[in-house]
Amino acid sequence: MNDVTTKSKILTAARQLFVENGFSGTSMGKIAKLAEVNYSLLFHHFGNKEQLWVAVKQSIARDAANKSKTLPLSNLPFKEFLSQLMANSIKFYRDNSEIIRMINWQRLEPAEQSIGVTLSTESNEWLDAIKHYQHIGNIDKELKPEFIITLILSIVSSAALDPNVLIKDKKDLKAYVDFCVIGLLKAFR
């Protein structure tokens, strides 16, 4: 029953290699070697490569779920709310590059079953927060909350994920976030 150790050693190694090289770029042999574990044990503990891939995705998703809480409190002034929302989201993306890579692999590689890694299951909470700020007059009530969320999310994800030529260091990023917050305030009023 050294099972926990061995199984988790395999999972850790698989996670690292799958995140780095994707499904078809990773071989069971390399996973076994990295985990310092007999090759056959991978199949004993996980069945086959695809089941191991699924297990890795679930493991990453579980970790991500525990670290979420990107949404600030709705009793903040709207400007602060926006500012924190963007900062939190960008930090979340930055801190969870594993998930990001995994999501991107999942998008590109032939989809067996896309259950597993996803982002922003908290959409409903976002919607509620937006509606709240519409109700107290910070956001034009004519604007569709779905559009507002989509807009914010696309800004945030690009800022955090895309390697941007125009925004190089952290100072630039901070300035850019401020620029966006001020712009969004005007846009939504």
**Nearest 5°: CA angle at 82, between 157 and 72?**
90
Task: Give yes or no for a contact between 95 and 67, defined as CB atoms under 8 angstroms apart.
Answer: yes
Residue 180 near a copy of itself by CB under 8 A: yes
Of 10-18, 63-71, 88-96, 139-147, which segment contacts a copy of itself by CB under 8 A? Answer: 139-147
Is the CB of 8 or the CB of 183 nearer to a copy of itself?
183
Q: Pick from DNA, a copy of itself, none: which does 105 bind, CB < 5 to 8 A by kind?
A: a copy of itself
Q: Pick from a copy of itself, DNA, none: which does 48 bind, CB < 5 to 8 A by kind?
A: DNA
Residue length of the chain: 189
Residues that bind DNA (CB under 7 A): 1-3, 5-6, 26-30, 37-41, 43-45, 48-50
Q: Which residue in 98, 55, 76 sits closest to 181, CA to CA?
A: 76
**Which of 69, 107, 170, 171 touches a copy of itself (CB under 8 A)?**
107
Residue 134 near a copy of itself by CB under 8 A: no
Residues 188 and 82: their CA atoms lie apart, in Å, by 11
Helices (H) and strands (E) in the chain, counts: 9, 0
| Backbone φ, ψ for residue 119 (5° rounding) | -120, 165
Residue 61 CB contacts under 8 Å (≥ 6 apart), including other chains: 99, 116, 117, 118
Task: Give yes or no for a contact between 153 and 113, defined as CB atoms under 8 angstroms apart.
Answer: no
Of 44-52, 67-75, 83-91, 148-156, which segment contacts a copy of itself by CB under 8 A? Answer: 148-156
Least spacing, CB of residue 156 vs DNA, in Å: 35
Least spacing, CB of residue 31 vs DNA, in Å: 8
For a copy of itself, the binding residues (CB under 8 A) are 20-25, 101, 104-105, 107-110, 123, 143-144, 146-147, 149-151, 153-155, 157-159, 162-167, 175-176, 179-180, 182-184, 186-189
